[in-house]
Structure 1
Amino acid sequence: MNNENDIIDNLADLEVFLLAVENGGLGLTGVAGVGMATNNKDGSHFVAVFDDRQQLLLARGITTEVFENGKDIVRNGVGRKH
């Protein structure tokens, strides 16, 4: 997993990360999706960015709180504030 020491620990930072992915701010190409998962080895949670072949492009660790409360943000996208 990339940036293992750089854990996303709040929903605001999750939103910033997702917007950076969406806007191309991380320099990733071929992004097709984002999801949350649990590492089978140690039980830690992460948010992952995938390409159209479902290959992992980037992963960032997340806290259990972000994993539990950020699912809708990842699933539905970051809500636009007017």
Structure 2
Amino acid sequence: MNNETDIIDNLQDLETFLIAIENGGLGLKDVAGIALATNNTDGRPFVAVLDDKHQLLLARWVTQEVFETGKDLVRNGPKKH
């Protein structure tokens, strides 16, 4: 999450990210879940991709608006296209 320009700032980009995870497009292994969370240090929101041991595989910063409005999208998954 060190790349400050890689922030998800709208629900369409969040959905695209979730679809890429579901389709294996990012090459991640053993993905077990996706969650919205906040950084313990500074409270910044992010979307986290977790393995079956709840270890972080990948994360992307999200804006506060996406954090608040994207909860159902993360919880229920993206619409299938």
TM-score tier, shorter chain, comes to over 0.9
Equivalences for 1:29-44 in 2 at 5 Å? 29-44=29-44
Structure 2, unaligned stretches of length 5 or more?
A: none
Instruction: Return the offset for 1:2.
Output: 5.4
The answer for the alignment partner of 1:74 in structure 2 is 74
- Normalised by the length of structure 2, the TM-score is 0.93
Query: Percent identity, aligned pairs only?
Result: 69
Structure 1, unaligned stretches of length 5 or more?
A: none
- Normalised by the length of structure 1, the TM-score is 0.92
The answer for the alignment partner of 1:7 in structure 2 is 7
Equivalences for 1:57-68 in 2 at 5 Å? 57-68=57-68
Q: Following the alignment from structure 1 to structure 2, what is the Cα–Cα distance between the partners of residues 68 and 35?
A: 12
Number of equivalences: 81
CA offsets 1:14-69 (integer angstroms, 9 cap, x no match): 00000000000001010000000011211110000000011100000000000000
Tell me the C-alpha RMSD between the 2 structures. 1.2
AA aligned opposite 2:34: V
